Amino acid sequence: MDKPAYQALPLPDRIRLPDAEALAAAETFRATMARRHSVRDFLPDPVPQEVIETAISAAGLAPSGANHQPWYFVAIGDPAMKAKIRAAAEEEERAFYAGGGGDEWLKALEPIGTDEKKPHLTTAPWLIVVFQQRYGLRPDGTRFKNYYVPESTGIATGFLITALHLAGLTTLTHTPNPMKFLNGLCGRPESEKPVMILVVGHPAPDATVPAVAKKKKPLNEILTSFPPQD
């Protein structure tokens, strides 16, 4: 990537809240995200393309290594293309659940209740395939290196899931293994690696979630704090 010379700009946006307001804002956001659930039962009800594209635009605002923004998203609402993705994904999943995933992995999935059948891939109105760009290509075809690619793409995907949730939509992260078939179906180059299919829509009236999914680690199991010393 041809980079322009460094130029410092004044910080365009500043948000500083009083401590009480900051805590209230953090608590409100936590409560909002606590209502986010992964489901596998979707309605076929349409979702405007503009909503999907705006959420992806928000994902594109994420920080990235050297600002290379090494991600690409393919939004799929076409029923025929979704059917092809489902067929290819279920083929991989059949091999996985037949033993290809290994005993330990399959055992870990038992409380989630998943199997090789993936009807949500055709029922939900949108699939978003997330690609990470392992390296970039200049207009002349030469390569340039991207940095912190998995980390950057993971942050952008978090932005995307949050944006969709705030828009009142439900998502499911689906990761068939392997996923190489998505390059061909989505017309993406070898330089990009598919990492996830994000299923997007509204939950069906009879949608369920696994009980185990509601068991989140408490704060004392995910945090160590070293507070300021008096």
Mean pLDDT of the 15-31 span? 97
The pLDDT of residue 177 is 82
The pLDDT of residue 178 is 86
pLDDT digit string, tens, across residues 60-97: 999 999 999 999 999 999 999 999 999 999 999 999 89
| pLDDT grade for 176, boundaries at 50, 70 and 90 | confident
| pLDDT grade for 2, boundaries at 50, 70 and 90 | low
Cβ neighbours around 40 below 10 Å, total: 23
Structural domain boundaries in the chain: 39-203
Domain topology for 39-203: NADH Oxidase (3.40.109)
Mean pLDDT of the 41-66 span? 98
Cβ neighbours around 76 below 10 Å, total: 21
| pLDDT grade for 1, boundaries at 50, 70 and 90 | low
The pLDDT of residue 218 is 96
Mean pLDDT of the 36-40 span? 96
Tell me the pLDDT of the chain averaged across its residues. Answer: 95
| pLDDT grade for 101, boundaries at 50, 70 and 90 | confident
Mean pLDDT of the 167-192 span? 94
Is the pLDDT assigned to residue 7 strictly greater than 90? yes
